[in-house]
Amino acid sequence: MRNSRIMSVGHYVPPRVVTNDDLKACMDTSDDWIQQRTGIRERHYSEGWTGAADMGAEAAREALDRAGLRPQDVQCIVFATLSPDVDMPASACLLQNLLDVPGVPAFDVRNQCSGFLYGLAIADKFVKTGTYDHVLLVGGEVHSTGLDLTTRGREVAVIFGDGAGAVVVGPEPDARRGILSTHLHAEGKFAEKLWLESPASRSRPRLTEEMISGAEARIYPKMEGRYVFRHAVNRFPEVIREALDANGLAPADLALLIPHQANLRISQMVAMGLELSERQVFNNIDRYGNTTAGSIPIALYEALEAGRIREGDLVCLAAFGAGFTWASALIRW
């Protein structure tokens, strides 16, 4: 069975930059408070009628260009998002329409912060089995339209930003290179520690006006921050070691770890736990906030641009987030 590899990466972030100081206009917060807890300085917010698929299409076009491919060469589209353009159908359908490739199978993966890596695991298998030669995997979010941008919602709202990234996954003839393994986990016991409740099909009715605009609005994400933090700093190193162990490798072998950009403090704790140097970990949360399914491909794009990944390098992508879900992928570039 052949290996797969990431052939190219593209990204898109909307032009509007929202700094921590800008947020002070709608909530009681401060640049110091946000930076101290999260490492975030600014994030991007989309405008107008821009959805995850619109941004995803921009990222996809860049990735395809860089792979020397046309949209017509794509055989399958996997879209990871938790903020779809519309409730139904999947954002992958809208993305496919924008790329004008009718007929190509397209579906959404809804695995929150681990969505991109769940999608990568799927793309990897489709290529490995020889089913497809070119899978387009996109991760993207428009969080800004679903946040409680008042003082009441500040703990969660300040963290998130909009953005999208895309990769083309294709065949790798060298069995020692490409995506070496993927590892996926979930623990639904903690589903309500970081979640967005409504609309909820388990409520009857699924949505009420009270849920939207009542004093206890349920259409905004909620998080028990400390709880999530504690689990993240355990699960991240665990799933990174799982990937390394599966391939007989050690943290010292890593040229670069790209953790999902959830919180700079989490990334720092993970690096410390694995005894990784600053040079071995890539972070860009200061400029984008948490873009959830978009964060890993955006960071991967920037790491490549900055020359932080060279041919033959061992790269680990890892994520932890809502679900809880967590995942890793080990790649010989």
Which of the residues 114 through 153 are near another protein (CB under 8 A)? 118, 121-122, 124-126, 128-129, 131, 141-142, 144-146
- The answer to whether residue 260 is catalytic is yes
**Kind of pairing between the strands at 76-80 and 106-109:** parallel
For position 110 contacting another protein by CB under 8 A, the verdict is yes
Of 242 and 313, the one with the shorter C-beta distance to another protein is: 242
C-beta of 53: minimal distance to another protein in Å?
A: 8
Taking contact as CB under 8 A, which single stretch among the options 33-41, 59-67, 97-105, 305-313 is the one that binds another protein?
A: 97-105
x/- letters, 256..275, toward another protein (CB under 8 A): --------------------
Taking contact as CB under 8 A, which single stretch among the options 28-36, 196-204, 246-254, 256-264 is the one that binds another protein?
A: 196-204
- The answer to whether residue 113 is catalytic is yes
Of 112 and 291, the one with the shorter C-beta distance to another protein is: 112
Of 66 and 125, the one with the shorter C-beta distance to another protein is: 125
For position 166 contacting another protein by CB under 8 A, the verdict is no
Asked if the peptide bond before residue 107 counts as cis, ω within 30 degrees of 0, the response is: no
Q: How far apart are CA 258 and CA 267, in angstroms?
A: 9
For position 105 contacting another protein by CB under 8 A, the verdict is yes
User: Pick from 204, 328, 213: which is nearest to 260 by CA?
Assistant: 328
**Long-range contact pairs involving 299-308 (C-beta distance under 8 Å, separation at least 24):** 299/165, 299/258, 299/261, 300/6, 300/9, 300/165, 300/167, 300/258, 301/9, 301/10, 301/11, 301/165, 302/11, 303/256, 303/258, 304/9, 308/256, 308/282
Exposure class string for 133-155: b at 16+ Cβ within 10 A, else e: bbbbbbbbbbbbeebbbeeebbe
Q: Catalytic: which of 44, 113, 263, 283?
A: 113
Q: How many whole angstroms from its chain centre is CA 153?
A: 22
- The answer to whether residue 93 is catalytic is no
Q: Catalytic: which of 20, 263, 283, 290?
A: 290
Q: Catalytic: which of 11, 260, 283, 284?
A: 260
C-beta of 31: minimal distance to another protein in Å?
A: 22
Asked if 294 and 164 count as a contact pair (C-beta separation under 8 A), the reply is yes
User: Pick from 219, 92, 209, 222: which is nearest to 155 by CA?
Assistant: 222
User: Pick from 117, 61, 110: which is nearest to 236 by CA?
Assistant: 117
Which of the residues 21 through 50 are near another protein (CB under 8 A)? 46-50
Which of the residues 221 through 240 are near another protein (CB under 8 A)? 221
Chosen residue from 31, 41, 71, 207 binding another protein by CB under 8 A: 207
Taking contact as CB under 8 A, which single stretch among the options 17-25, 169-177, 203-211, 275-283 is the one that binds another protein?
A: 203-211
User: Pick from 13, 9, 11, 36: which is nearest to 161 by CA?
Assistant: 13
Active site residues: 113, 260, 290
